[in-house]
Structure 1
């Protein structure tokens, strides 16, 4: 499998169950870095693509990632080392629970593209199931850890199915995390909202809600989507 080539870096993904998709690129491009974070954490890094995008977009000195799957972890490390920002990127091979218990650092920005297949079936590919199914990283567990690892003025950013938005916000509120920004994503103008990108903080500020449509028709991308991703995709 060929590497996925962005404008400023390449990502090998042949050893990762979850390949690079629109969700990861959306989150990496949308996450606000206006606060000029010193430290960033990517929970469930996979290929490492989101951490790499934030390394390109910021001067953050510490960009950590966590990946529990053996193969994905090794590939993430390779992708970090082969990037222009290898000195700022580090991947931990650990579960989120282990990491949260052992690490005393707090992070100014936390990002996660969590597994969220909550359907009742699984495939014969355990690695892919681990990457795709919500029981590998329950929302409650993700939110609890984020609330511990996030700095007082930090922002926790996720992308989840739109149908899970209300539930996720309710869970977050129990840990005093509140939505400040929400982006609803639709594939095309006539389709239903598919994804929610949400930025949480410990401050009850809003939220500011916007909508993004990806295509007007097949492979005809909207100006909003092009503007969001043009720093990364070669063909934008």
Structure 2
């Protein structure tokens, strides 16, 4: 990985104009989330998750939206340089229209915490730009009746987000606790919600590293189509 780009097997993510760089959270979510015929990536940033979904679901109509103009320009350039098709839009989710089979987001998650002096990083990381309630309300509005809403959150944000989701009427369909190593407590959770109760729930635990700088077999398998 160079400072301004990240090379995947089938596409390159340039990231010099984006508040959030390529990280484990986005890669986990892009490899784990369920897709559909129509897919919306909220807060697309560099376009990494949208492009991962385009690789996994080549026949899908995929839209990536962001409120940061530079992020949209960068995502558009990353899409143009890739073999995939994604519609990148400069748009606030609160003004987005349409219906989607899958909605995916790596959302702002810091609540009532000290903000960075860098505005782009604040927008990408802090819920002051988009609260969990607004995210949930708009995801419900844009999601088809049988669609799935997937996201990744830090452990400390999980309860608040789940409360908002269930208050809206969402039912949890999938939950994976993600640990950095087997000895540590879960650092983040992959979550998926639907508008109706599910017959079977997919709950599990994933370990990222077996040892320092050594990816686990689970993480290798999950990301094998993407990492070099």
Q: TM-score, normalised by structure 1?
A: 0.92
Q: Match of 2:218?
A: 224
1:144 aligns with 2:137: yes
Q: TM-score, normalised by structure 2?
A: 0.95
Q: How far is 1:94 from its partner?
A: 1.5
Structure 2 alignment gaps of length 5 or more: none
What is the alpha-carbon distance in structure 2 between the residues aligned to residue 30 and residue 212 of structure 1? 11
Which string of whole-angstrom CA distances, capped at 9 and with x for unpartnered residues, describes residues 45-70 of structure 1? 00000000000001333100111012
Structure 1 alignment gaps of length 5 or more: none
1:214 aligns with 2:211: no
Residues 194, 91 of structure 1: alpha-carbon distance in 2 compared, 3 angstrom cutoff: same
What is the alpha-carbon distance in structure 1 between the residues aligned to residue 101 and residue 88 of structure 2? 17
Q: How far is 1:118 from its partner?
A: 2.0
Q: Match of 1:91?
A: 88
Which string of whole-angstrom CA distances, capped at 9 and with x for unpartnered residues, describes residues 75-94 of structure 1? 011111111013xx111102
2:174 match: secondary structure: strand
The number of residues matched between the two structures is 225
Q: Extract structure 1 runs of 4+ deviating beyond 4 A.
A: none
Say if 2:109 and 2:157, in contact at 8 Å, map to a contact too. no
1:50 aligns with 2:38: no
1:135 aligns with 2:128: yes
1:190 to 158, 179, 183: 183
**Aligned Cα RMSD in Å?**
1.3
What is the alpha-carbon distance in structure 2 between the residues aligned to residue 60 and residue 138 of structure 1? 32
Q: Which moved more, 1:181-190 or 1:159-168?
A: 159-168
2:225 match: secondary structure: coil
